Amino acid sequence: MINDTIAGISTAVGNSGITVIRLSGPQAFQIADGIFKGKTTVSEQKTHTIQYGKIISPHTGEAVDEVLLTKMESPRTYTREDVVEINSHGGYTIARTLLNLLYENGARPAEPGEFTKRAFLNGRIDLSQAEAVMDIIQARTQRVSKVAVKQLEGSVSKKLEDIRERLIELLAGIEVNLDYPEYDAEEVTLAQAGKTTKEIIGILDELISSFSFGKLLREGMEVVIAGRPNVGKSSLMNRLTRKNRSIVTDIPGTTRDVIEEYINIKGIPVKLVDTAGVRETADIVEQQGVERSVKAISEADFAIVMADAQELLTEEDEAILKKVQEEGKPYVLCFNKADLIKDEKKPERLKEQMPDAIFMSIAEDTGIDVLEERIFRFATENIHDMDNQVLITNTRHENHLKKSKSYLEAVYEACRAGMTLDMVALDLKAALEELGKITGHHADEDIINAIFSRFCLGK
């Protein structure tokens, strides 16, 4: 039972139009009454209404700020507890003064994520929904926030709840059989268990395989632009970011360091990495740049290997390509400066020879849409219905799904091998528990605390 009242600033700290201070807990109204003076007291104010008033310092009797105060009675609130939200003028000093007054009146400072944690502990949302709150706050593109909002609405919870219900039903059937062996034939129960388990393994597989895309959405996909000097890597970087981020000159070896910038390709957050051109060099600064390029290639999810359309693949290009292939990196080969090819028929011939390569000209802005499409296709290749499929975006969820699946595989094998039902029941329970850890039905306190500690203050 939660019996204390917490207070925190829910808006970003700094100069702003307003600041929202949130109070939640059984004494929220009483504590607010201690410092607020409006037309009515907060205790008498109608729920889910807002009123104008002043915050009065009990020490000086003077007004600290004029505010708008919202009262929300349990249970129709974010935390399911009594909640007060005070909109004060923006700025850290006022917010700090108001908070201190609330603390003096009996509130305690909220820990990071504690409001959302209370929503979870009071049963308004489950753990996967609480985690979605954080994802919404951190979402880099609209597509990402859409997935997170769906998770908050319960897309993952609902799917897992369906699976859990089927497993619980199965377990109940097995336990009846264990208690009353004469009631049902053991083989029938085993066969049924095997069939259901197999179906559920299929559903878990689909969820697990959605993770590579889910993770990519959440964390962004790292795309490195690699190639020898002067082929136009930095020009591409600038074109894709629509900024003059990288220095471009006609001197080979212009870029010396790794330059990173986030872009949005059709809703996929992409971290674009421009690198120093890879070549043998005596220049020590450039050497270090080249080393960083090689490292960036090995860390990326996808590589754009850039070469010059006039020269096609030189020995240096081949070496870079080999490096990318040895790393097992997915890549696309881009021939830039197609505008400099004088023979009009040549591009067509080249395309026939190298159907997977992209011929582009940054100078004339051609081929860039093809490249973006290729990156998007790579990102979404394992996903069949991006807008409606339930996506797993969280490593923690993926881990529990995998563990649950391996217990179910043991169940399936045991059913096929005609093992005893009590063995099957044990693994079924373990599989259920793993799923329960995702939604919080079975989560340890430590894990719950660790999850909420990553939240921002005031959420």
Binding site for ligand GTP (CB under 6 A): 227, 229-235, 248-250, 252-255, 276-277, 336-337, 339-340, 361-363
Q: Please list, in sequence order, all residues whose beta carbon lies within 8 angstroms of the beta carbon of residue 67, skipping any fewer than 6 positions away.
A: 36, 52, 53, 54, 55, 86, 87, 88, 89
User: Counting contacts by CB under 5 A, is residue 235 touching Mg ion?
Assistant: no
Task: Between 231 and 333, name the residue whose CB sits nearer to ligand GTP.
Answer: 231
User: Counting contacts by CB under 5 A, is residue 255 touching Mg ion?
Assistant: yes
Instruction: Select the binding partner of residue 252 from ligand GTP, Mg ion, none (C-beta < 5 to 8 A, by kind).
Output: ligand GTP
User: Counting contacts by CB under 5 A, is residue 394 touching Mg ion?
Assistant: no
Instruction: Select the binding partner of residue 232 from Mg ion, ligand GTP, none (C-beta < 5 to 8 A, by kind).
Output: ligand GTP
Torsion, Cα 128 133 135 138, to 10 degrees, reads -160
Instruction: Select the binding partner of residue 300 from Mg ion, ligand GTP, none (C-beta < 5 to 8 A, by kind).
Output: none
Q: How far apart are CA 288 and CA 189, in angstroms?
A: 66
Give how far Cα 341 sits from Cα of 25, 170, 391, Å.
72, 68, 45
Task: Between 194 and 277, name the residue whose CB sits nearer to ligand GTP.
Answer: 277
Q: Measuring CA to CA, which residue among 28, 35, 39 is closest to residue 62?
A: 35
Minimum CB separation from ligand GTP for residue 431, in Å? 52
Q: How far apart are CA 103 and CA 441, in angstroms?
A: 33
Instruction: Select the binding partner of residue 269 from ligand GTP, Mg ion, none (C-beta < 5 to 8 A, by kind).
Output: none
Minimum CB separation from Mg ion for residue 371, in Å? 17
Minimum CB separation from ligand GTP for residue 352, in Å? 21
Overall residue count recorded for the chain in this entry: 459
Q: How many CB atoms lie within 10 A of CB 299?
A: 13
Instruction: Select the binding partner of residue 374 from Mg ion, ligand GTP, none (C-beta < 5 to 8 A, by kind).
Output: none
Q: Mask 27-56, x = binds Mg ion (CB under 5 A)?
A: ------------------------------
Enumerate residues 108-147 that contact Mg ion by CB under 5 A. Answer: none
Type of residue numbered 343:
D
Task: Between 362 and 411, name the residue whose CB sits nearer to Mg ion.
Answer: 362
Q: How far apart are CA 228 and CA 85, in angstroms?
A: 58
Task: Between 187 and 257, name the residue whose CB sits nearer to Mg ion.
Answer: 257
- Show the tokens assigned to 356: 């997977």
How is the chain split among helix, strand and coil, in percent rounded to 5?
50, 15, 35
Binding-residue total with Mg ion (CB under 5 A):
4
